[in-house]
Structure 1
């Protein structure tokens, strides 16, 4: 068997399948997932496992087609009847071919994973291995399914028809089952989640639900067994039993609503804090950044100490950054989101004084508009710039001159800054406190509170 497997590895389409999977994955990962932020494919182990499965939306149909092309080999060579007349069981002949195809695609996927793994510096979580394993099973099932269906329908049209059909099914599942505001629920969602990829991750604080990963694994294991039986069994209809049973179990296990597909990770959201000095806490997901953040955060607390009721600690607020707004937050803590601070969103992360400036902005409060704002955020940015400058003791622009809103913000910042500085000191403090109250509650106009003291 080992010798036969070696021959298949040299003479079958297994190396070609591996190259195709590798090339598609590297191209898609280069162009598809975010290349900045904490959800980049090389930032965390969980993100790595999910993003390396994203290219399967493209490679899975191609692998099905190439597997079918390999399945036609005996028919093209004219030896199908000869092999069928030998006493050697079909299963023995099929194992060598399917083993070679499986090794080809699995090796390619592991190479892609290894390329990302050497760059990951996030915390370790065992669940990513299960997500990765399901992707490997899905690829193996694709290669085997193509070979099995080609034996069932040995036509030159089988490979292209299977590839196009698989592409249509996968694309439809992706479009219909995307976890957006219009995502379906119930049976339609469960069926679309059978696609070979996971839903695109939105943040590092949630992970695929265990029921989702288990259901996908069961379905593709059943599909792989069906593909094997299509090559090994005497009667093709007997091969359908594994995939039918797998689907009957997997579909009910799938989450029925978009909110259930990804669940909060208690480990990722747990805190890692400094041992000395003013307390600075980051989530476990970003705990490896604590050494870089602690110094600038403690400096921000020192500057904010001039406030009558200053914040005493800096804590990370776990949650998605790509949102239109946030909920109210108490102002006795400097809440941060590392993505909002652009710590992960630029090629060279903000450090030192730049990071301190972003924490002091808004007199130690977070933006309300988020990074996806349905309204013009210029007044809020202007208010945050003036309040942060008041804390720092000098006018410090929050935006770079190249930013979209820079000119509009500057037009508001200048007059507001001069008006605030012209007031008596006690009134300045009251205005900044009023602005902090509005910004903390995300209710009202912070620039109005800063310029008139009205909440």
Structure 2
């Protein structure tokens, strides 16, 4: 008797596995999570030079990649999972069990709703670790990453509901195609509906999302999915109206806000300058690249030093005007205001090419970057009306090419030069420091929108 009691008290060596765990570790779920992680990871790796220097860039590209490529995988997984019981012919058997329909449905839905977001988060962790060594400050937009995971779960839920309702084996791939086309096409519309697209591409430029964007986006994407699930399996289907109404309110808020969803980040846009002459200033979010920028512009600045009309400071930042007549006025010492009056460029300041756009993993190609900086100094977009087919227009263009190449030599831009451009370049190269500074003073003082006023070397 004592032996029997001891045996009864002994814990069973093989504890019963929870049904949810069985659902999660078997079937299509783990494969879907791995597919999403691999798809997002490979796509991000192929575009690594474009996002590995800023947290905002990696977050923005992750969002597009996850929803545009992972979204179709998620909805197809949900559709296939939703039709599983019907394919096995056990739907009536499951309906006869005492467990509530919503509980059974939620358990069957779990692989499609949980595994794709899990795979996405694995890819996110890898991308953030790859970005961390090259960033200059700030932090990732973690709430938006969480909102993207919720959107993937919502797409899996919608696919699951449609898989339960539609008994056609090609529904899953068809839904994947429709999801891809739908999310992609919404990014090209000019209406307010564009802002409702979770896969919308945002070009990060010293800004940050409003604090409520992530939670409201979660309500917008999860609301219709939860409403569809409740309408399918809840005993009181009227409760499906609650998440649907919440989703409509969230959608209205997002659509009406529009461009206001992203606002300037003063901490990221704060200028950080070196001690050189002329001074070089970048924004705080790019300050780790400041030594690279200073080294790249050393040769250009040496040729410009002491030249009247040369820049007193190179600056980069939000709302800086594009190359045009503003740069000509700045080079001559004028004070120019931007159109929206939020950025004031002082006397002698000239726009600096954004270093992040030119760098790869913290490495800046010095010659190409200096060539771009010289472009900002010399180019005037308001001179597009010049007819370069005329002798005067051709002459002005050829002189500009030679001056450009002399200021910032780059081997990539001389292979198609004309004989006149080579002759002008040889004249510049033969000048001593005093002669070259005298010529550059006359060149910067001339109105280059009038070809006849451009002096030849």
* TM superposition shift of 1:134: 1.4
TM-superposed deviation, 1:137:
0.8
1:240, distance to aligned residue in structure 2 (A):
4.8
User: Normalized per residue, which structure has more helix?
Assistant: 2
Structure 2 unaligned segments of length 5 or more: list them: 1-15, 332-347
The CA deviation at 1:434 is 4.2
Alignment-derived partner of residue 53 in structure 1: 63
CA distance in 2, matches of 1:373, 1:18: 55
Equivalence for 1:194: 196
Give, in whole Å, the separation in 1 of the partners of 2:273 and 2:408: 30
Secondary structure at the residue paired with 2:411? coil
Query: CA separation of 1:156/1:424 partners in 2, compared to 1, >3 Å: closer, same or farther?
Result: closer
Does residue 328 of the first structure (1) align with residue 326 of the second (2)? Answer: yes
- The separation in 2 between residues aligned to 1:384 and 1:346, in whole angstroms, is 32
Q: Which residue matches 2:409?
A: 398
Structure 1 residue 135: deviation in Å?
Answer: 0.9
Other-structure match for 2:456:
451
TM-score (norm 2): 0.74
Q: Which residue is equivalent to 2:416?
A: 407
Supply the RMSD in Å over aligned alpha carbons: 4.3
Q: 1:70 aligns with which of 81, 85, 89?
A: 81
Summarize the alignment of residues 16-31 of structure 1 with structure 2, pairs less than 5 Å apart: 16-29=31-44
Unaligned runs of 5+ in 1: 178-183, 390-394
Change (3 A) 1:95 1:301: same
Which one of the candidate residues 80, 86, 95 is aligned to 1:84? 95
Q: Deviation digits for residues 38-70 of structure 1, max 9, x if unmatched?
A: xx1323111111111222223312321220110
Which protein has the larger Cα radius of gyration, Structure 1 or Structure 2? 2
State whether structure 2 residue 162 is matched by structure 1 residue 146. no
Conserved 8 A contact 2:277-2:301: no
**What does 1:303-318 align with in structure 2 at a 5 Å threshold?**
303-308=303-308, 310-318=310-318
* Stretch moving more, 308-317 or 109-118: 308-317
Matched, 1:134 2:152: no
Deviations 1:164-208 (A, max 9, x none): 443343233234x2xxxxxx2xxxx2323322313252x533455
Aligned-residue offset at 1:72: 1.7
1:119 aligned to 2:130?
Answer: yes
Q: Which residue of 2 aligns with 1:216?
A: 217
Q: 1:275 to 1:9 in 2, by over 3 A?
A: farther
Alignment coverage as a number of residue pairs: 416
- Partner residue, 2:244: 243
Does the residue aligned with 1:365 lie in a helix, a strand or coil? helix
Question: What is the Cα deviation at residue 428 of structure 1?
Answer: 6.0
Contact 1:255 1:261 in 2 (8 A): no
Q: Is residue 444 of structure 2 the alignment partner of residue 436 of structure 1?
A: yes
Cα distance, 1:30 vs structure 2: 5.1
Note the C-alpha offset of 1:74. 2.2
TM score, norm. by length of structure 1: 0.74
* Cα distance change of structure 1 residues 11 and 54 upon mapping to structure 2, 3 Å threshold: same
Q: Which residue pairs with 1:392 in the alignment?
A: none
Q: Is the 8 A contact 1:279 1:313 kept in 2?
A: yes
Question: In 1, Cα distance between the equivalents of 2:363 and 2:116?
Answer: 36
Q: CA deviation at 1:283?
A: 1.0
Q: Is the 8 A contact 2:187 2:200 kept in 1?
A: no
Provide Cα deviations, 1:250-294, integer angstroms capped at 9, x if missing partner: 23432566x556544333321122368864321123111112223
